[in-house]
Amino acid sequence: MQNSNVFVYGTLRRGFTYHHLLSGSPFLGDGRTADRYSLWMNEYPCVCRHPSLTRIHGELYRVTPAILALLDELEDHPRLYRREATAIVLNEHEAVRAWMYFFPKPQGIAIPSGDFADWG
């Protein structure tokens, strides 16, 4: 297996609870999703494909297969979250493909900005 791009939007971002899991992974930049999704907060943040309200803000990392497996375990993929490929825009112009964790249905309170850093 080869290294993969992963886009994180919640507790895996710098300054949040689980970022230490990415500490050895190269940071590729801040970005947002090319498509509109919705960001929700209940016990934890989650992104849903529908309703499509806003672009989701986050960070892009390059991870090894071992780190990807660790993230899958954290996100309980595929039982709770589902890891799916999506387009991420870096620096407002460069689009790249990356894995992102999606939740099957909205739950909790919507974060209208699409940025978990705006929560609370």
* Residues classed as catalytic: 75
The alpha carbon torsion through 106, 41, 9, 1 (nearest 10 deg) reads: -60
Cis before residue 51, ω within 30 degrees of 0? yes
- How far apart are alpha carbons 64 and 10 in whole angstroms? 20
Strand extents, DSSP E, the chain:
4-8, 27-33, 38-41, 45-48, 57-63, 82-90, 94-102, 109-110
The two beta strands, 4-8 and 57-63, are antiparallel
